[in-house]
Homo-oligomer: A and B are copies of this chain.
């Protein structure tokens, strides 16, 4: 009797193949046939799951974003378990932003898949939907953390939570780009991000 195929597993196998290609030569001139070869399945089978390269790229992006989410959540839970107190908004924002920078193999692969998505989405409005829904959702979460910190007098109340949230996200994005271009090291990107974050968490009324 033929083994029952686990469709979700097969889709993940394809996503992993796409990540490997994204991590090495990039997805620019990659065909469905190339991905099928990398995933070690036939082109026909691959097309059973994904009709186009864009479909595949969106699945790979969502899947790798979900994994990053899980890693970030785990690091926040570990903070809670070891810190002896619930994580502060600063702990949470630091964990999220650290998770967004390409500082290890997993987050670097994520950044390269995001870069491939970016290259496609700027020329195709249909591809932009993921960013247009995902980024404002992340910004709203960041803004909530900032508001909580303001209530606790950890951030100056003159700061606009929505604006600060989008500044943090844009900064993570730009620092990531210059890390991928080897303009600075991952460590330097993290240092710069933390410097900006620490200043946000310094009420101006110190004197």
Contact = CB atoms under 8 A, between A and B. Distances in A.
Interface string A145-180: 000000000000000100100110111111101101
Main secondary structure of the interface of A (DSSP, over half): helix
B181 A118 contact: yes
A112 interface: yes
Interface of A: 24-26, 28-29, 112, 115-116, 118-123, 125, 128, 131-132, 135-136, 160, 163, 166-167, 169-175, 177-178, 180-184, 191-192, 195-196, 202, 204-207
A163 B67 CA distance: 31
Given A116-B119, A132-B183, A170-B174, 13 more contacts: A24-B123, A28-B28, A28-B120, A118-B180, A122-B180, A122-B181, A125-B182, A128-B182, A131-B183, A135-B181, A136-B183, A166-B178, A174-B177
A181 B25 contact: no
Find the residue from A24, A122, A128, A132 having the highest chain B CB count within 10 A: A122
A181 to B, nearest CB: 4
A206 B158 CA distance: 14
Contacts of A182: 125, 128, 132
